[in-house]
Amino acid sequence: MPFDECSYLKCQTVPQMMKFAWDNYKRYAWGKNELRPLTRNGHIGNMFGGLRGASIIDSLDTLYIMGLMDEYNDAREWVQTSLDLNSDLPLGNSVVGSLAHRSAAAHANQAHVPSKSGLSLTAVFAMSVEHSTNGETSIKHRQQCCTVKQNTYKNGEASLFEVNIRYVGGLLSAYYLTGEEVFKTKVMELGEKLLPAFNTPTGIPRGVINLGSGTSWSWGWASAGSSILAEFGTLHLEFVHLSELSRNPIYTEKVMNIRKLLNKIEKPHGLYPNFLSPVSGNWVQHHVSIGGLGDSFYEYLIKSFLMSDKTDDDAKKMYYGALEAIEANLVQKSPGGLTYMAEWRGGILDHKMGHLACFSGGMIGIGADDGAPEKRQHYLDLAAEITHTCHESYARSATKLGPEAFRFDGGGEATATRLSDRYYILRPEVIESYMYMWRLTHDPKYREWGWEAVEALEQHCRVESGFSGIRDVYTMTVSHDNMQQSFFLSETLKYLYLLFSDDDLLPLEDWVFNTEAHPLPVIRKSCLQEEATQDKTVSK
């Protein structure tokens, strides 16, 4: 059916996909973190420290926005009655050292984690942080290196980053959209449990925290006990809103302290490396990536500026300074004319781009209008070029879904040249950029590309009892990974729905999306002034 003849079908298909994914999660995995659709059971994982219901929290705003009110009410009731923020679970498997936001270190060559299906994935490509294709650790957008210890730690040990973007972000968004006090109560309680992670000599938080005891430590695979840029740099939006709701400045103070340190230390060529010591406050390695380990740090700079009603001049200066350094050192043009962002390792370029880095088209797009006047059209053009390149990574595969990473060397362009990079785990970043670029330009190609993704997801990732990632995007004989990621419900389907919706649904001038696609309202200057006046009155 031609694209322009199915507008009604487009508008209805995405909520139907969401309902199908949700219904199967509810039937087979209710209260667990994610659904395993092939084996029809739930997956708990080790990233959330004993917290449960990640798919429920990640789905609250999506269900509400799509008007799936029966499903939303079931989710709200579960939060009210079953979201336990004080769980102390039996000893079990614990992942030591894992990922980093759309991050994860394809860092070691060692960690070897067998999957349920018997497929082995090496850490180098394997644990894609936002998730591993074998589903043993599910982490937001990234790749990771980890080892598994049996019966050593309690499940109170959580990724600060993952809990913040999924649980804190999801509860904040649900509260702001609905006004339901239960979400505010829960998020305030959870926010307090994250503060001990900042108890370091520099105030840079460590990546792992025991939600019960408050003890924190760095990922075992992170170089020299370092913290990860995309993790400690992806707290600002949520923590500012925690201060807004609680009227307690401590959350904002914690994230502003991170900013102060970053502004003080030297940046190689103006770039921000991925690893920083929370003890010394110095960079540990000079590896720079706009994909895993680095990505959402940059995203939160421009979004902090936008969320502040464009008053956070420090965030603005940091963002455009970083973007200038990225353009000077990382942005490349392939022989075939594709613009991409390489990775930087101590001055040597690695000509690959991860799926995670494909969020950057949308990021540069939403920041274009506030750049220097002479650069605004340039930034919008750059955003369009990067989004085009990421679409090419989809278009050049047999399934029309993109690989985890694609390269621009050895004669290939926008294709995965390594077997270990060929998987797709329902990631949202390419579709995210389609949505932003549609909102900014209304070029119909972005909706056309989004519809291609819908058709590919339906054809290759939909199984009898949910949606699953696939192990090789270059073969039509797909092998599924048996994991319906929670971010598929929070991000991939939400961005698709917004792509096909009117611009006045969550307009970009009023809302910013955290890196898990949870919408948070812009904090208006008038609101801040009113609060300051009220505070003075109370003090008198």
Find out whether 303 and 310 touch, Cβ atoms under 8 Å.
no
Q: And the tokens for 228? A: 């990860």
Q: What's the half-sphere exposure (Cβ side, CA atoms, 13 Å) at 232?
A: 36
Find out whether 234 and 161 touch, Cβ atoms under 8 Å.
yes
Distance, in Å, from the CA atom of 282 to the CA atom of 295, rounded to the nearest integer, reads 20
Place of tokens 């992670």: 197
Strands (E), 222-261: 227-228
Q: What Rg do the C-alpha atoms of the chain give, in angstroms?
A: 21
Catalytic residues: 162, 295, 404, 429
Find out whether 145 and 105 touch, Cβ atoms under 8 Å.
yes
The alpha carbon dihedral of 466, 472, 476, 478 has a sign of negative
Put residue 422 in one of left, alpha, beta given phi > 0 → left and psi -120 to 50 → alpha: alpha
Binding residues for Ca(2+): 515
CA nearest neighbour of 187 among 174, 204, 205: 174
Distance, in Å, from the CA atom of 504 to the CA atom of 454, rounded to the nearest integer, reads 22
Beta bridge partners of 288: 344
Q: And the tokens for 42? A: 């739930």
Torsion of CA 322, 324, 329, 332, to 10 degrees: 120
Distance, in Å, from the CA atom of 251 to the CA atom of 228, rounded to the nearest integer, reads 19
Q: Is residue 368 helix, strand or coil?
A: helix
Non-local CB neighbours of 166 within 8 Å, separated by 6+ positions: 48, 54, 57, 58, 140, 486, 487, 490, 516
CA nearest neighbour of 55 among 455, 423, 483: 483
Non-local CB neighbours of 529 within 8 Å, separated by 6+ positions: none
Distance, in Å, from the CA atom of 95 to the CA atom of 217, rounded to the nearest integer, reads 13
Q: And the tokens for 231? A: 């993790």
Distance, in Å, from the CA atom of 361 to the CA atom of 343, rounded to the nearest integer, reads 16
